[in-house]
Amino acid sequence: MTDYQTRSYWLGHKPYEPTGRLDGDLSADIVIMGGGFTGLWSAIQLKDADPALDIVLLEANVIGYGASGRNGGFAMTMVERNIAQLVRRVGPEQARAQHLAMVETLHEIEQFARDEEIDADITNPGLLTISNGPEQDLRIQQDLDAAEKLGLSDFHELDGAACQELVHSERLRCGHWEDGSLLVDPAALARGLKAAAMRRGVRIYESTPVDSLEAAPGGRVEARTAFGAVSADRGLIATNAYAHAIPALRKYLFTIYAYITLTERLTDEQWSRVGWEKRMGVEDKRIMPHFHRPTADGRILWGGRDAPCSAHGPDPKFDRDPYIFGRLEETFRWTFPQLHDVKMEHAWAGPVCGTYNVMATIGWLKGERLLYALGYAGHGVGPSHLAGKMVRDLMLDQKTQLTELPMVTLKPRALPPGPLKAAIINTGQRLLMKVDDTGGKGGGPLAKLALKLLQ
Ligand SMILES: Cc1cc2nc3c(=O)[nH]c(=O)nc-3n(C[C@H](O)[C@H](O)[C@H](O)COP(=O)(O)OP(=O)(O)OC[C@H]3O[C@@H](n4cnc5c(N)ncnc54)[C@H](O)[C@@H]3O)c2cc1C
């Protein structure tokens, strides 16, 4: 086990007692590799469908060590870059079905946490998406048009005054409101899911990196570790960006790092300068967006903007970057000059896994013994619960409405190899950030090309 408490504010601000590592060989029905939201929700959904299933989950470090314990804590309906892009990608019928499945999943997360008494500061304040530049106004309108086309009643248009009433910043030009989005303490949620899985009889081992998870003789799979092997009928790869270590998956994935800064606690008087009474999450409409939210203990979390690509998958050297933390603080000060006396107190980063279509993918590796569920591209908090239900249906050989959704039916496409992929993504991002930082004017023709490739 490493210094996991230092990897994010969430992983360190509440006490945690990890469980022990694997000790010897085991046999099970299903072995899960990875103890983030995907592995945990999948284990829970499978057990709820068939309590007799014997499930073993192996986590390399501690539960929530990856993105699940480091994220912004926004559980949103978003599975693509936005609702307009989802419609462009899969057409209106599939986009509507996918969106409604996400609405239901968010209700279920909230209900589950309540039923299981998970203390993860879960609130249901909705989501404010705002424009803070002229080029972003158009993207707000595109979302609203798409939502109207799909007949969705959960998106509401807001003018600049209405946005500024919700959060006092002169930078807000217009926006939309979406009902039903949750905010969570992500590490506390992951730890609560671990307890819920163990109550159902799932055997969880931490500090147990899987060296290989492969087909084995007799139609079985085997997860090999330094401390023993787990033989099972089927296996789930739930390691998200860390799946870069698996050659059969690496070609479909890219790893970028997402960054977060967190202020000190604001006083009541400082909060009164920004309003924010609904304490909802806020995202802007930059191409490389920002996300901000209040925390239960009265801080402002400020994340997004730069997202460098790592050619070789997750690499702890990306976990801290003072230059990027400084750029985040810059936009925080630009947005809230009235909070000049509020200091930044924490900063961290984590690996985000993406596929060509910026949407999670759930599918079988050759032979239908090993399933993978990954690639949420920075939007996995809510969708990992939906992915867990899809994993359940696929593992139990059931064809359901969920297995007909794009997260299952859209197959991943191969990307260029590591260093070339990183060079393309990093160059593209630099151009796109220029567009963002100049209100849509900078970047030149290459930026236009990068924008086109995103769609
Ligand atoms: C800074 C940041 C901010 C984000 N903000 C948001 C947000 O606000 N809303 C949102 O929806 N999404 C957000 N995301 C994305 C979201 O956190 C992820 O999509 C989601 O947590 C993915 O969960 P997961 O379980 O698939 O992967 P992970 O949480 O990464 O879990 C994978 C696990 O596998 C383990 N592992 C790796 N290798 C092995 C091995 N060999 N053997 C065993 N175990 C292994 C890792 O230790 C890790 O615990 C953010 C991500 C980051 C990094």
Residue 441 has pLDDT above 90, yes or no: no
Domain ranges of the chain: 1-121+184-253+355-415, 127-179+256-350, 418-454
Query: Can you give 69-104 as a three-state secondary structure string?
Result: HCCCCEECCCCCCCHHHHHHHHCHHHHHHHHHHHHH
pTM for this entry: 0.97
Give me the helix-helix angle, 383-395 and 37-49, nearest 10°.
50
Instruction: Measure 148 CA to ligand 1 centroid, in angstroms.
Output: 32
First to last CA, the chain: 41
Ligand 1 site residues, Cβ closer than 6 angstroms: 33-39, 58-61, 65-68, 70-74, 76, 209-210, 238-242, 258, 260, 291, 303, 349-352, 374, 376, 378-382, 384
Residue 455 confidence (pLDDT): 65
Residue 450 confidence (pLDDT): 74
What secondary structure does DSSP assign to 10-25, as a single string?
HHHSS---------S-
Instruction: Measure 132 CA to ligand 1 centroid, in angstroms.
Output: 29
Task: Report the share of the chain in percent with pLDDT over 90.
Answer: 91
Region 414-439: mean pLDDT is 90
**Which residues, including other chains, have CB under 8 Å from residue 347's CB and lie 6 or more apart?**
259, 260, 261, 262, 320, 325, 328
Residue 2's pLDDT band (boundaries 50, 70, 90)? low
Residue 446 confidence (pLDDT): 77
Give the model confidence (pLDDT) of 366-403 as tens digits. 888 999 999 999 999 999 999 999 999 999 999 999 99
Pocket test for ligand 1, best of 63, 224, 240 (most atoms within 8 A of CB): 240
Give the model confidence (pLDDT) of 104-131 as tens digits. 999 999 999 999 999 999 999 999 999 9
Residue 437 confidence (pLDDT): 87
Pocket test for ligand 1, best of 239, 253, 407 (most atoms within 8 A of CB): 239
Within 116-159, residue ranges assigned H as helices are: 134-149
Residue 347 confidence (pLDDT): 98
Give the model confidence (pLDDT) of 262-303 as tens digits. 999 999 999 999 999 999 999 999 999 999 999 999 999 999
Return d(Cα 150, Cα 97) in angstroms, integer.
10
Q: Whose CA is nearest to atom 48 of ligand 1?
A: 66
Residue 440 has pLDDT above 90, yes or no: no
Q: Whose CA is nearest to atom 31 of ligand 1?
A: 36
Return d(Cα 150, Cα 83) in angstroms, integer.
10
Return d(Cα 102, Cα 144) in angstroms, integer.
18
Residue 438's pLDDT band (boundaries 50, 70, 90)? confident
Ligand 1 closest atom vs CA 72: 8
Return d(Cα 57, Cα 421) in angstroms, integer.
32
Strand partners of residue 373: 362
Region 354-359: mean pLDDT is 90
Residue 141 confidence (pLDDT): 97
CB 274 within 8 A of CB 335: no
Give the model confidence (pLDDT) of 4-52 as tens digits. 999 999 999 999 999 999 999 999 999 999 999 999 999 999 999 999 9
Question: What is the CATH topology of the domain spanning 127-179+256-350?
Answer: D-Amino Acid Oxidase; Chain A, domain 2 (3.30.9)
Region 92-108: mean pLDDT is 97
CATH number of 1-121+184-253+355-415: 3.50.50.60
